[in-house]
Amino acid sequence: MNLGLPPFYDEQTKVLIIGSAPSEQSLRAQQYYANKGNQFWRVLFQALDVPDPQEYHQRLSLLKAHQIGLWDVYERFSRKGSMDHQFQETTINDFSQLLAHAPIKKIIVNGKKASEEVQKHHLFPNLPIIHCLSTSGANNGRSIERMHQWQVALADIV
């Protein structure tokens, strides 16, 4: 089984964006949303109305400045390829430590699979959860609707 990426957050993080699991490219690079086909960084920074610095560590610094954290639903997983419908075996992350150390006020869920798991396992029962269309390249046909959802989800932190 693959091991997902560690959470990105600090004691100031108020918004947590949850995906399903890193792609093969993200695992190799040890970076969130390293797959060039995934529109996460473009969508996120456009929704925040700030330029994308392109460099990964600068992107993380900008997230930190906006009090945004990142993590995934799955801690461990088996999957052929990088598509969410290809998961074969999964283990859910334990969010208790993160929630105990960060003043999370809102969860934004990136995509259908992550949304299904968040709901199925009642991962954040006391927090508002906003479900957004996946930033995956497979969803580019719905880019206008997707951008609107992300803008609404991030509107109060711009």
Residues taking part in catalysis? 38
What does the alpha-carbon distance between residue 46 and residue 94 come to, in Å, rounded to a whole number? 30
β-partners of residue 18 are 71, 109
Q: Which residues contact 51 (CB under 8 A, 6 or more apart)?
A: 45
Tokens 């609707």: give the residue.
145
Of all residues in the chain, what percent are helix, strand and coil, respectively (each to 5)? 40, 20, 40
β-partners of residue 68 are 15
At residue 83, what is the residue type? M
